[in-house]
């Protein structure tokens, strides 16, 4: 008999969470104008808003916090992080930054010019933002299968080589400085990219002198999927797979708040000396001196340890198993979820869940609010409110997918929490036909409205 999975760690410190009542939550969410971003964390029982910076550090990471060297230049903590990043990626140069978007800001300052075209697989929103802010264009070349929640494909984050070829054929080559491979592909639902695809994309890019940059926030999770799903990788360690993956690229940016297992931090790693020198100047202007870049010494030390812990097979197996378990349990109950389940989150398909609510009344947001009221769970809408208005017509944009994302923080919640989540979802699903109306907007900001929007019940 195969023994069930169990966490490869035990708990040394606990953080109590308040278990509120439905009556309290009804009052709080009304006061928050039905916007989950406006809730206080104490009003939330299980917080699945994001897996970014919300994970638990290990005893060894906390030990590094005490060992932190806060020297302005050349600190021991920087040396530890520098060694770890170069060892894992194989790249020659490393620049620290305070988080992922800061790394993008620094690197893109050195690499993106007005009129440039940056193809990739569903660029993350801050990545796209930093390209468009510099009057460049991010072109999404993800395979079509990524957009059908019912189709099974082991690597839905893959780049479509035909789409990429047509970007190359239809644009002056000097306008395409680099391509971005996002691992795992966050925007497509935490879906992995295969090594075969990375290799083929890299070969095509190298033939045309286009650099390959990884957006590596969840690269360890991606390597875990390669090990489990792709021929030839079963017997390789996660670290070996990561090293091979990085060998097909020229550099990376990373939000260390994900697979760095820390609460704040960012990484740039590169092979090209000229780009590095150029980026260092921007880093000193925006982030800090090149041996801290916006991070405390103690945080760099904790990150150096966290990077290795995130590559540990047992850790990754428990992490991914927990997310898959939640997704499969929900699917078993008939709850419509995006398939296959990604690495860091389960996505509910609100169009299938609550088709009885008019789409103009924000189906995904309505479902997220219900989940909060019934069970104290905070999720996030990835639907019409996030898609915002058309900049020209100012009409609401209705995206093909109306999703509610349940992002699972790393090493934070237990198996019982997953059981609770699945049961709560089933309860809401069983009474879904009663949902007839949703919400209307009473106030919204001109851009990025989802963070501050105020809603009222219809
Ligand atoms: C989180 C994330 C970023 C941005 O990182 P921050 O640390 O939040 O600034 C960039 N790309 C991807 C794929 C991410 O998931």
Atom of ligand 1 nearest to the CA of 101: 9
Q: State whether 259 and 128 are in the same domain.
A: yes
Whether 17 maps to a domain, the answer reads: no
Last residue of a domain, one of 285, 309, 333: 309
Report, in angstroms and rounded to the nearest whole number, the Rg of the chain calculated over CA atoms.
22
CATH number of the structural domain spanning residue 104: 3.40.640.10
Overall domain count for the chain:
2
Of 241 and 125, more confident: 241
- Annotated catalytic residues are 72, 124-125, 215, 217, 258, 450
How much is the pLDDT for 338? 86
List, for residues 293-327, the tens digit of each pLDDT value: 999 999 999 999 999 999 999 999 999 999 999 99
Q: Which of 52, 121, 408 maximizes ligand 1 atoms within 8 Å of its Cβ, making it the mutation to test the pocket?
A: 52
List, for residues 217-270, the tens digit of each pLDDT value: 999 999 999 999 999 999 999 999 999 999 999 999 999 999 999 999 999 999
Mean pLDDT for the chain? 96
pLDDT at 425 over 90: yes
Q: State whether 74 and 176 are in the same domain.
A: yes
Whether 9 maps to a domain, the answer reads: no
pLDDT at 98 over 90: yes
Q: State whether 229 and 119 are in the same domain.
A: yes
- Please compute the mean of the pLDDT values over residues 200-208 and round it to a whole number: 98
How much is the pLDDT for 189? 79
Q: What is the pTM of this model?
A: 0.95
Q: Which of 140, 157, 185, 186 maximizes ligand 1 atoms within 8 Å of its Cβ, making it the mutation to test the pocket?
A: 186
Whether 16 maps to a domain, the answer reads: no
Whether 292 maps to a domain, the answer reads: yes
**CA atoms in the 13 A half-sphere facing the CB of 69:** 12
Distance in Å, CA 3 to ligand 1 centroid: 36
List, for residues 363-396, the tens digit of each pLDDT value: 999 999 999 999 999 999 999 999 889 878 999 9
Q: Which of 101, 131, 261, 267 maximizes ligand 1 atoms within 8 Å of its Cβ, making it the mutation to test the pocket?
A: 101
- Please compute the mean of the pLDDT values over residues 277-301 and round it to a whole number: 97
> Which distant-in-sequence residues (6+ apart) come within 8 Å of 120 by Cβ?
127, 138, 139, 140, 141, 159, 179, 180, 181, 182, 215
Q: Would you place residue 171 in the very low, low, confident or very high pLDDT band (cuts 50, 70, 90)?
A: very high
Whether 7 maps to a domain, the answer reads: no
Distance in Å, CA 374 to ligand 1 centroid: 30
Residue nearest to atom 1 of ligand 1 (CA): 255
Whether 3 maps to a domain, the answer reads: no
Q: State whether 93 and 222 are in the same domain.
A: yes
Alpha carbon of 403 to those of 117, 144, 242: distances in Å?
A: 29, 18, 30
Q: State whether 334 and 423 are in the same domain.
A: yes
Atom of ligand 1 nearest to the CA of 264: 7
User: In 3-state terms, what secondary structure has residue 231?
Assistant: coil
């Amino acid at each position: 008999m195969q023994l069930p999975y169990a966490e490869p760690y035990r708990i040394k410190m606990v953080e109590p969470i308040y278990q509120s009542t439905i009556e309290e939550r009804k009052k709080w969410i009304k006061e928050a104008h039905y916007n989950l971003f406006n809730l206080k964390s104490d009003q939330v029982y299980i917080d699945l808003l994001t897996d970014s910076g919300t994970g638990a550090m290990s005893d060894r990471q906390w030990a590094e916090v005490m060992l932190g060297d806060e020297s302005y230049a050349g600190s021991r903590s920087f040396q530890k992080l520098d060694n770890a990043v170069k060892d894992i990626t194989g790249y020659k140069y490393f620049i620290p930054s305070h988080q992922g978007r800061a790394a993008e800001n620094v690197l893109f300052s050195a690499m993106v010019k007005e009129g440039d075209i940056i193809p990739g697989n569903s660029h993350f929103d801050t990545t796209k933002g930093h390209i468009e802010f510099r009057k460049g264009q991010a072109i999404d070349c993800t395979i079509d299968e990524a957009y059908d929640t019912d189709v099974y494909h082991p690597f839905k984050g893959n780049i479509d080589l035909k789409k990429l070829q047509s970007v190359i054929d239809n644009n002056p080559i000097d306008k395409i400085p680099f391509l971005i491979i996002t691992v795992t592909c966050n925007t497509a639902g935490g879906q992995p990219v295969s090594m075969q695809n990375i290799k083929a994309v890299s070969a095509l890019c190298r033939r045309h002198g286009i650099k390959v940059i990884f957006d590596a926030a969840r690269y360890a999770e991606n390597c875990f999927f390669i090990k489990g799903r792709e021929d030839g990788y079963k017997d390789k360690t996660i670290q070996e797979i990561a090293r091979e993956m990085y060998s097909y690229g020229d550099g990376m940016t990373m939000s260390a708040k994900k697979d760095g297992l820390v609460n704040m931090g960012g990484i740039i790693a590169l092979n090209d000396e000229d780009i590095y020198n150029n980026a260092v100047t921007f880093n000193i202007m925006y982030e800090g001196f090149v041996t801290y870049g916006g991070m405390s010494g103690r945080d760099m030390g904790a990150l150096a340890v966290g990077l290795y812990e995130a590559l540990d097979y047992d850790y990754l197996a428990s992490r991914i198993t927990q997310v898959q378990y939640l997704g499969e349990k929900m699917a078993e109950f008939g709850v419509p979820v995006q398939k296959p389940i990604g690495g860091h989150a389960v996505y509910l398909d609100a169009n299938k869940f609550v088709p009885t609510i008019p789409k103009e009344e924000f189906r995904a947001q309505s479902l997220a609010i219900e989940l909060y009221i019934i069970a104290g769970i905070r999720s996030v809408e990835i639907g019409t409110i996030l898609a915002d208005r058309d900049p020209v017509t100012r009409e609401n944009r209705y995206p093909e997918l109306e999703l509610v994302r349940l992002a699972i923080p790393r090493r934070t919640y237990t198996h019982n929490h997953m059981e609770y989540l699945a049961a709560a979802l089933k309860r809401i699903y069983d009474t879904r036909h009663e949902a007839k109306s949703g919400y209307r907007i009473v106030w919204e900001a001109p851009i990025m409205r989802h963070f501050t929007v105020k809603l009222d019940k219809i």
